[in-house]
Chains A and B, each alone.
Chain A
Amino acid sequence: MTRDTRETFASTTAALLEEDLSVALVYAEISGQYFREAERRHPDRVVNVGIREQLLVNVGAGLALTGMRPVVHTFASFLVERAFEQVKLGFSHQDVGGVLVGSGASYDNTGGGRTHQAPGDVALIDTLPDWTVHVPGHADEVESALRLAVAGSGRDYVRVTGQQNRGPFPVTPGRFHLVRRGAGATVVAVGPMLDPVLEAVADLDVSVLYASTVRPFDGRTLRAVLGTPDVVLVEPYLAGTSARCVDDALVDVPHRLLALGVGRRELRRYGAPADHAATHGLDAAGIRQAVAGFLAA
């Protein structure tokens, strides 16, 4: 049975709190249902700040100032967007490390509407230098990414989403996985976009790279597998977020780029995540149509 990604985040964090006395968890009510036992066992290292997201992020940064390794969590919309200056100044400008874990992603909470959706989270984090950005596409990758991030000392953003691929890959920051090799274009599938991408390009002679850690962006592997100089990015957040990384990697190679992802237009529709994926052209059919058009052009 496939594990739930958010519960996996919570159980992994609880385990890390047991294993490593320097780990602290700061959260803001959200996901509190998963943390009761950890909070009871470690009241000094598990802090619920209430509905206070500016405080959430800076409390995490303050813990880091004393040498602790904070895991800071709420919905991505409140963690990265509402409290962005705290991310920028509390962590980057103070030059302290920490692990931010945002849930909800682009449209996990379709019924909740725009207030609970954060397709721009990775683009926002990407305005800051030296953040490692994990976009796990499977619950096992959530656990691996979180363990790697917490074991390190840098600044990590872990984007937890309910959308999952059928199987996990090892989490290897700085290195994308070659899932299929073809002679033509290269498709970079990020996180939960892998399964729809594989279905969409099943009969096309293209290479498929899988990225669950998207910053740093593995431009070296992209160059190495490049057949024809045609690149397709398929990202589960704002379209074009990694376009600059492709351009950097291929700065001396004339190339074409199709950047698929979540559109900028506000949908104002509810329904299920699959409905939103289809509307943004991120289901297999939508990806297939876009890629075919791009390759035929």
Chain B
Amino acid sequence: MKAIICAIAIVLSLSAAAAAAAESTATVQADQNAETLATHVCSNCHGAGGDSRSPTFPRLAAQQAPYIVAQIKAFRANTRGEQEAHDYMLGMVALFDDATAEALGRYFAKQPEPAGTPGDPKLMAEGRRLFAQGANVQGIPACATCHGADAHGNGIFPRLAGQHAPYVVKQLHAIQEQTRKSPVMHGIIKNLTPEQMNAVAVYLQSLS
């Protein structure tokens, strides 16, 4: 009897090890595919390692992996309704499976943080105040609450440090106008003025 139990245990152990090895192999393969994809395709707009040059395309370097995965799924589900999402990303991400999306998330998350670009000091100061303290009169909480004191993000809350200011402004408008579906963020920024958007975006672009 003991021998049978031992045999079953060995078989189960081997099966679990084999499954783990297979999963590990699949992950390695997905990471390799993502690296090729990021290097050969994504880099054309998002820049080397996700450090894009054009403000039309967001910087993805050092971005939170869960956020990237969530956005790929949002593009696929068409819940990001801004025109650029349709024009540039919808077709691209349609080719990704979940494993590739997660691997791309890991790839960009491990890239070096993009350098910040200082802007107008007055705007940066106003943006810093908004980011750190919010605007009580308008019912706007501090951005840092979710995005982190250094704006490096946390999980599905994106990293904003070093992001192109025009891109941040465009996304704030898209969320405010609900072309980009983000119910929580919409509630938070519904009273944010264009001037405040610009100030906080200039501040965020200055961070690294």
A binds B: no
List chain A positions with a Cβ less than 8 A from chain B.
none
